[in-house]
Amino acid sequence: MIFAEIALDKAMGAVLAHSLKAGKTMLKKGRVLSAADVAALRESGRATVTVARLEPGDLAEDEAARRIAASACGGHVTIAAPFTGRCNLHAAAPGLVVVHRERLDRLNAVHESITLATLAPFELVSPRDMVATVKIVPFAVAGALVEACIAIASEGGALVRVAALRPRPVALIQTTLPGLKESLLNKTLESINVRLAALGCPPASEARCAHDETALARALAEAKASAALLLVSGASAITDRRDVVPAALVRAGGAVDHLGMPVDPGNLLMLGRLGDAPVLGLPGCARSPKVNGFDWVLQRLVADLPVTGADIMRMGAGGLLKEIPSRPQPRAGDVPAARPALKVAALVLAAGRSSRMGDANKLLADLGGEALVVRTVDAALASLARPVIVVTGHEAERVRALMRGRDVMVVHNRDYAEGLSTSLRRGLAALPADTDGVLVCLGDMPTVPASALDRLIAAFNPLEGRAICVPTWKGKRGNPVLFARRFLAEMSQLEGDLGARHLIGEHAELVAEVPMPDASILVDVDTPDALAALRRAGTAAEI
């Protein structure tokens, strides 16, 4: 890749290296300069510009990131659309992130221009959580470097995957000694069931017996008949392999695989097995809702990831979980949480009167066997956006009826006749408090696919200056538009029949234009002729 400051008369077709303002137009870095862009720069008084230009054999940043992400992607992981040289991988199921650390390190050592970052191995994730990201640092890299990364990622098994949780019946056996309060036993059961619920497992079946080797061995044998995972909470901590809990497991016909772990809290955990069922002797900290070593082992077992004594002995790095002065934040909460992805909601505006359509409500018009608004809503549901909120107004009951059975929130705007802003305000008021951004979707744009929404979400990153994401087709801006949370208050003050597009001009430095593969983002249905044309064409690309 060539990177240099060059004269404007040689800049057309090159990639802009730094964002520049040309008159009233903001040209963002990464933009392929057109003749009009060069003219605008010249009119602004510039004679040169810093650009990047691909050389033979180079791959553009987005394509390079996409190829590496695809080669690294394993089971229960999906790939988002690349943008600005970044391609994110997301969990497709609840589970644990599994990373081949040695190959990851080798991939990152191929060249400084190519990076792949993942969550910590065995971190618990939910669907749609980001698990990894590929970032190409410059605007292009040599194809040979990309192929070297792909070869490493493809050597054997997935480089990054999610081991999906597989809920199973669990039995909890608690031993008792004279003077042990029943409230403590109840607290232990409650804490265990909270953990199991977070992993999709049903509540544990519980048995209580004396803290005695014979009694516990009998209870283990009985629990094995109906449970796939056995947990033992002893009235007294396990301090030796000859102690009551491990000795009872051996008496029942099982085996102790490991005792102790380099995780604190959690040091006194026992790992064993009875037939094909894993058995965990719980440390006392399992009664607490705070994260401890027991959580790390329990999560792996529910994800069908085998745990051996050697695995436990490798948990020391990062295993200090106690509250210490250098870690003042409490590890509170019922279950350990994964780092969430940005939360983007979709707001489908479906309240208008369709005045230009005559007597018909365009949103209810048939298009390929489905109502036009249904196509718009289904595209939102198929995207990464959540929740999907549909704002009704005109013929609200008919629109609401079409939403039955769909995972959407329907809110009614009784002031819909006063203009688009009222529907926007009503929808924004329904957003969850933790929403990071909102896709404002128009109900009369039925050909915009879910992939277009996901491209916008992939580009969205307020911290990197992409707080408003606008789709484009051959330089023309369309809909939907994704706005960051910082603009919601201003959007909620709009009045009349105005939307929020003026924010794009007022905050040009925060706008990211996201190219789309077809013209669907420009196609709305405002008139009978537009509907007829869409029916004839079949797809927006053919109009």
Rounded-to-integer distance, Cα 286 and Cα 191, Å: 7
Q: What is the pLDDT of residues 457-510, one digit of tens each?
A: 999 999 888 999 999 998 899 999 999 999 999 999 988 777 787 888 888 889
Burial class (CB in 10 A: 0-12, 13-18, 19+), 100: buried
Rounded-to-integer distance, Cα 105 and Cα 108, Å: 5
Cα angle: 458, vertex 461, 466; to 5 degrees: 105
* Rama region for 503: left / alpha / beta (φ>0; ψ in -120 to 50; rest): alpha
Rounded-to-integer distance, Cα 205 and Cα 511, Å: 55
Please list the rounded mean pLDDT of every run of 10 residues in the chain (543 residues).
93 92 85 91 94 94 97 96 94 97 98 97 93 96 98 95 98 96 95 96 98 98 97 95 97 98 96 98 93 96 97 95 52 44 92 69 90 96 96 95 97 93 95 96 95 94 91 93 95 82 87 93 88 74 39
User: What are the structure tokens assigned to 321, written together?
Assistant: 């979980």
Q: What is the pLDDT of residues 341-369, one digit of tens each?
A: 789 999 999 998 766 665 678 899 998 89
What's the pLDDT at 357? 64
- The 3-state DSSP class for residue 266 equals coil
What's the pLDDT at 356? 60
What's the pLDDT at 331? 41
User: What are the structure tokens assigned to 24, written together?
Assistant: 């009233």
Rounded-to-integer distance, Cα 145 and Cα 59, Å: 10
User: What are the structure tokens assigned to 217, written together?
Assistant: 């061995």
| CA-wise closest residue to 445 among 527, 516, 534, 524 | 524
User: What are the structure tokens assigned to 238, written together?
Assistant: 């396990």
What's the pLDDT at 197? 97
Instruction: Domains for the chain: give ranges and CATH numbers.
Output: 2-53 (3.90.105.10), 58-164 (3.90.1170.30), 170-313 (3.40.980.10), 344-542 (3.90.550.10)
Which residues, 6+ apart, have CB-to-CB distance to 242 below 8 Å? none
Residue by residue, DSSP assigns 231-257 as EEE-SS---STTSHHHHHHHHTT-EEE
User: What are the structure tokens assigned to 131, written together?
Assistant: 């698990």
